[in-house]
Homo-oligomer: A and B are copies of this chain.
Amino acid sequence: MLVDDHAVLRAGLANLLNFEPGITVVAEADDGDTARQLWRQHRPDVTLLDLSLTGTDGIETLRLLHAEFPEARVLMLTSSEAHEDIQHSLQAGACGYVTKNIRRAELVDAIRAVHAGGRPIGEHVARLLATETPHGILSRREIEVLGLIRQGFTNAEIGRLLGIAERTAKAHVAALLAKLEAADRAEAVARGFERGLLKV
């Protein structure tokens, strides 16, 4: 089963995969809710899932699907190379993770590996996981503050909104800037989006 919000990619991929012996695309979905519904009907051996879906995002869809059907075998096929996306996907129950830059043969290999019970990680992705080491995870308070920074609030306003002193808000900002390795709040917001802490 294919789950991707790009109809063009789905059509092309379906066409391509149907030529592979032993592989048949039995269903396609362009959003998470449809995907889970179709899964119940078709029980596909393998599901290719994109992260960027309209409505329920890919991670959440994966989480819900996995909660309902722990036996579902899902291979993430996405363009994101974010460390968090990989980690969250695998933690949410994905069997594998490959990027869309993968070549045709490698994708087919990965699909067969997932079907056989393996947990393939794209070569490219594996390299990412090996090298990158995030310096620290944000506390809840810091994520909350980051959400307010995103909305353009000053430290004083953040303090007022959270019922704390401006000085304390500044401390939280300083802490999250360090953890995100950001030079200022603007870069912190960008890092937040990149790490999946903030969503569009």
**Which residues of A pack against B, CB within 8 Å?**
5-9, 11-16, 19, 30, 77, 79-80, 82, 100-104, 107, 149-154, 182-190, 193-194, 198, 200
A5 to chain B, nearest CB (A): 6
Bound-state Cα–Cα, A11 to B19, Å: 13
Candidates B80, B153, B183; contact of A200 at CB < 8 Å: B80
Given A150-B187, A186-B189, A100 contacting B11 (CB threshold 8 A): no
Q: Using Cβ atoms and an 8 Å threshold, which residues of chain B touch A153?
A: 183
Candidates B30, B101, B187; contact of A7 at CB < 8 Å: B101
Given A16-B12, A187-B151, A5 contacting B101 (CB threshold 8 A): yes
A64 to chain B, nearest CB (A): 22
Q: Using Cβ atoms and an 8 Å threshold, which residues of chain B touch A15?
A: 12, 15-16, 19
A153 to chain B, nearest CB (A): 8
Bound-state Cα–Cα, A82 to B200, Å: 9
Bound-state Cα–Cα, A101 to B6, Å: 4
Bound-state Cα–Cα, A198 to B192, Å: 13
New A-B contacts (12) at CB < 8 Å, excluding given A6-B79, A184-B186, A189-B189: A6-B100, A8-B9, A8-B101, A11-B12, A11-B16, A12-B12, A12-B14, A15-B15, A15-B19, A184-B185, A186-B186, A186-B189
Q: Using Cβ atoms and an 8 Å threshold, which residues of chain B touch A150?
A: 186-187, 190
Q: Using Cβ atoms and an 8 Å threshold, which residues of chain B touch A80?
A: 200
A40 to chain B, nearest CB (A): 25
- Check if B100 sits within 8 Å of A8, measured CB to CB: yes
- Check if A200 sits within 8 Å of B189, measured CB to CB: no
- Check if B104 sits within 8 Å of A11, measured CB to CB: yes
A100 to chain B, nearest CB (A): 4
